[in-house]
Chains A and B, each alone.
Chain A
């Protein structure tokens, strides 16, 4: 999976957010709970994974890089 594909999915959820460079999406309150769940729905559908609630922690959602890492991990499980 490549980063560009993920960024496209994220921009589709909210194109006002700089997913490419921001590394504090949760810490700075850029993503609210509505946005987080929309991202989960989009990732689950596009990558055929299920993201449990326990994965909703800042370390996994603070940046596109962290999201990519989480998706790859869940795909391998």
Chain B
């Protein structure tokens, strides 16, 4: 049941109606039933994997909570300090083993389903024939998103930041909540769970605002993303035949399509939550206005970044070996210099950041190109931090006013350039083709008439589609610019005006989507890009 299908809209309207007419005490059960129904409509087999994650999360969560309580009690009764310390270490080790078993089970399932065929394929290609048959593995819908959310919950319990939920059905709602299970946003338990369980009253303003956000999502998905994705696909199919200008065109199309598609899915999810009365975490904050690559990753897929930061980046960065790297640099002769002191401070952190990007890369898929993605982003962040004093000296020597609008524009363009080159690793079939594409982009540019006639010949979209897409992109750009400048939601700015304007904009959006959206017979509405993860 795709977000863009009529049946989904019916399902949604029914669920929301039932939610508000149900007795307050049981409203959360409507969300649970809707979530289970939504998932089972997509896949019954996949739901079995969800159940394994849910039951293990429930069991291990309670085990860890009870273990921590008993541990506290036991330690309280020991008065001798050194004995207490010894006992604490032993119990801490046991507790860590419980967590490890849970993580191995859940990340094991994720890794098995995502990477087994990659390894079997590698064995076959090394053998030169089909030595081992590939497995017919089903990747459950949204496996990464519910796994991340569930493991985050158990790690928080391990860290003493949460107590386990003892109601299995309630925990089930947290793990399977339908607006977010397909592609996020990934929520932390302490931010989301209580909002799911407590009843929310019907509120017309929230209904209107949530519906407006959903409309905006449908506009981006159906009018922009799905209109241009065909052009991207035909270029990629035979990319080797085209020059760098056409490859660059594909990259630019992907830049728009990915953002329009992914942010659309998130807006629809957040809009649904707003209607119900749930404040869902933000996942994008105008990423293409970022001034540095670090800034970009703080604005793009924010909830995945927050998850990675909390559960991988910090735990890795504060380990003794990583902390000792900084100390070693500091104690060396190089570490006594001004630049050495800077390197001692930022190198361990940059290294941790590189590790996180490698993990994010590998999470995207079993392919060497994703290692390239991790290296590209991680190394650029590492070098930009390591060379910061040099850049500061350069800007000072050149008397560049770093606060000026011109410099900010330069920074935005520079960041976009890095991001767009990084997208090569997304769209290419493999590492080899990614490197080939980069070579073409840099060394095979041609603005000749032949380039444009080739593009026109292969393009599955006509000039009206191009015009419509450009108009849609312009609207998306203006909305983003207003948000970036004012820090306010455009919906709120419109609502502050006369009600006629508000309804006129809403009506225009509906008409635009109905008339110019890519849906219905003859259109194969594309699945949301991030559903595959």
Interface residues of A (CB under 8 A from B): 13, 32-34, 36-38, 40-41, 44-45, 50-54, 56-57
Contacts and interface: CB of A to CB of B under 8 A. Distances in A.
Interface stretch (B22-30, B276-284, B343-351, B516-524): B343-351
Given A34-B385, A40-B318, A45-B327, 9 more contacts: A32-B294, A36-B314, A37-B348, A38-B349, A41-B326, A44-B323, A52-B315, A54-B159, A54-B160
Nearest to B317: A37
A33 B348 contact: no
A37 B161 contact: no
B314 A53 contact: yes
Interface residues of B, number: 22
B520 to A, nearest CB: 44
Nearest to A44: B323
Nearest to B298: A32
A33 B313 contact: yes
A41 B323 contact: yes
Contacts of B349: 33-34, 37-38
Nearest to B158: A54
B183 interface: no
Interface in B157-211: 159-161
Contact of B346 (A34, A36, A45, A50): A34
A3 B458 CA distance: 68
B352 interface: yes
A40 B318 CA distance: 8
A45 B325 CA distance: 13
Given A34-B385, A37-B348, A38-B345, A52 B327 contact: no
B286 interface: no
Contacts of B323: 40-41, 44
A45 B320 CA distance: 11
Contacts of A51: 318
B408 interface: no
B95 interface: no
B364 interface: no
Given A33-B314, A53-B318, A56-B314, A41 B345 contact: yes
B348 A54 contact: no
A48 B323 CA distance: 13
A30 B165 CA distance: 34
